[in-house]
Amino acid sequence: MADKTEKEAVPAGGASFEAAIKRLEEVVQGMESGESSLDTMLALFQEGQELVKFCNAKLNEVEKKIEKLSKSDGEIKPVPFEPSEKEASK
């Protein structure tokens, strides 16, 4: 019987960023519980690494799209994201 924490890191067919983050949270909880075997912990760590890589790639992709949408006078001018006071206090 497979442990429920031994799922695919990223489902086939292009998982969403949100699904990857949710799974990453599950992986972290599984590792923090300390109830898994060493082999399971290693598998969770590897899965977590893949999820982090996937999420970073998605964030970079979105950042590039935002920069393209922030064109001015035919030139791409990156506009840094500045969170509102409400978001910054979280």
Please write the tens of the pLDDT for every residue from 6-17. Answer: 444 454 456 799
What lies within 8 Å, CB to CB, of 17 at 6+ separation is 55, 58, 59
- 73 pLDDT band, cuts 50/70/90, is low
User: In angstroms, rounded to a whole number, what is the distance separating the alpha carbons of residues 23 and 11?
Assistant: 10
What is the structure's pLDDT at 6? 41
Task: Tell the residue number behind the tokens 């030139």, with chain if given.
Answer: 75
More confident site: 7 or 74: 74
